[in-house]
Structure 1
Amino acid sequence: MALRQAHDPDRGGRRPGRRGGGAMTGRLEGKVAFVTGAARGLGRSHAIRLAEEGADIVAVDLCAPVDTVDTYPPATEADLEETVRAVEKLDRRIVARVADVRDGAGLAATVADAVAELGGLDVAVANAGIVSFGSTLTLGEQAWRDVLDVNLTGVWNTARAVIPHLIDRGGGALTLISSIGGLRGMPNVGHYVAAKHAIVGLMRTMANEFAPHGIRVNTVHPTNADTDMIQNPGTYRMFAPDAPEATRADALPAFLALNAIQVPWVEPIDVSNAVLFLSSDEARYVTGVALPVDAGALIR
């Protein structure tokens, strides 16, 4: 399903960076970047940050609910349209599609169509992910399958869809968005933690397999980030289980206690700046790395 075709306005007059991103330096000038889960949250932030540095963007998102995820609303096509508008304001081309990372063949076709339209692919960010809550013994089988299907198989499908195009380009960068839950255990999200740990093993394997092709593969591990996945009553209840109707204020002490640096969460731009670094030539010899953006959560 096509949401928006590539937009190719006059490229003159670059706009300055935003949200603490810093002035643009064209670190991705002339490159094309693919981002999953791009309708809002971290995915939208990644798409905008890469576009700020000169990349044209391929943005995909499911834009529909997953039945077992009921603590926060799904992204919508209107959200994806907002990502399109934000990238177009930076005078970059963008191809946006509704696509499901669980559908390997469909995702590969979407990538191939966008690459044909934009002329190649240099950078990919496997960002799409979901979360639901429950102890290891109480999680339903479908909730387990859904998280593994999106957060692990979806990443594998993304890698399979983009790597042939990165090889055709003579190399590139693939960044997988994991979590602090990919490097430590966390209660009540065993399926999420299992998937995010598995991404690290997949990343290290692919970093070895595709280094001869000039492809670098890394993971980024955020602590809680200020997105809809965190800012919702279901997550507040997990962080403040004794509060009958948990609010953000009730959950704030537990959010703060998670991190060594006393912030309750990082901003999306903090994660996107790490993605930008790994996607740029500044990281040309960085591969097989699990990079935390965690306010010190992993040293607690």
Structure 2
Amino acid sequence: MGRVEGKVAFVTGAARGQGRSHAVRLAEEGADIIAVDLCEDIPTIGYAMARPEDLEETARLVEKTGRRIVTAQADVRDVAQLRAALDAGIAEFGKLDIVVAQAGVAGMKGEPQIQAWCDVIDTNLIGTINAIQVSLPHLGDGAAIVATGSTAALMDTSKVDNPGADLGGMAYVHSKRALTHYVYDLATHLAPRGIRANVVHPTNCNTAMLQSEPMYRSFRPDLEHPTRVDAEPAFGVQQAMRIPYVEPEDISNAIVYLVSEEARYVTGVQLRVDGGGYLKWYDYHV
């Protein structure tokens, strides 16, 4: 029997990367999946978003495990779209046990900068809140929520070298930090109802977000057009362990634990999967 056998999981950002990995890993452990993704580009985000065929591939991989899946193209920034997608999944499966609020974007070097700030906040913070809020009426005793934060949210960014120079990049840090506080407070007030809420904080993760031109420029600002070959040696600066990044499956394994019965008394936790990044960069004087 799988660790989440017979449960139903709602996963946002499920078309590729971490979201796909979470959906497939939960299915391998016995869950049916409600999977949503935008599947179209956001103009201020400097790398391509997932496509409808990516979401179809997620469905194929979930079905390959023997579990069922309902998919929908939905924008987490639009609560009506998200609610409709979730309602369709619950109509099929009859319940909801697990929420994995994964959908997120990185707005580094995004232009125009004010719009990049708004798009990142709307997706990463408001979109996460939307995913959780539409789910709450369907959750009961034993349910589990996990939001995806970032090790960046736990670092001291009060002394920025050039404030205002990259609003999209700073919006990523702020959005992850704010959702961390939201989930922490939510966990406190849901605990008496038997509903758990936690945040998992990845470091660099080997997905299309990391392997993108805006991210390469962030790691190698000394080069005008850095490539993966240029940037990847610099990825290791984020971690204390000698690794450039973690894999999506590393985060998925943490999520499976957090939503399983093994973690039935674990709530309000900030679980870092960061190769020691927090240990390396946290400023104990903040």
TM-score (norm 2): 0.91
Quickly say closer, same or farther: Cα 1:192–1:185, change in 2 above 3 A.
Answer: farther
Greater mean deviation of Cα atoms: 175-184 or 232-241? 232-241
SS at match of 1:85: helix
Choose which of 133, 141, 155 in structure 1 pairs with 2:114: 141
Per the alignment, residue 49 of structure 1 pairs with: 25
Give the Cα–Cα distance (whole angstroms) in 2 for the partners of residues 110 and 153 of structure 1: 17
Alpha-carbon distance, 1:98 to partner: 0.5
Asked if the contact 1:34/1:124 (under 8 Å) is kept, the reply is yes
1:100-179 paired onto structure 2 within 5 Å: 100-134=75-109, 140-167=113-140, 170-179=141-150
For 1:248, give the aligned amino acid: R
What whole-Å deviation, never above 9, does each CA across 1:251-288 have from its counterpart, x for those lacking one? Answer: 12321121111110000000000011001000000000
Q: Quote the Cα distance in structure 2 between the aligned partners of 1:149 and 1:81.
A: 25
Would the aligned equivalents of 1:95 and 1:114 in 2 still touch at CA under 8 Å? yes
Aligned to 2:67: 92
The alpha carbon displacement at 1:185 in A equals 4.0
Corresponding residue of 1:182: 153
Can you give the 5+ residue segments of structure 1 that lack an aligned partner in the other structure? 1-24
Residues 185 and 193 in structure 1, CA contact (< 8 A), matched pair in contact too: no
| CA deviation map 1:151-183 (0-9, x unaligned) | 00001111111111113xx33000000101121
> TM-score normalized by structure 1?
0.87
Whether 1:34 aligns to 2:25 is no
The residue that corresponds to 1:292 in the other structure is 272
Retained in 1: the 8 A contact 2:15–2:54? Answer: yes
The number of residue pairs the alignment matches comes to: 271
List alignment gaps of at least 5 residues for structure 2: 161-165, 281-286
RMSD of Structure 2 on Structure 1 (CA): 1.5
4+ runs deviating over 6 angstroms: none
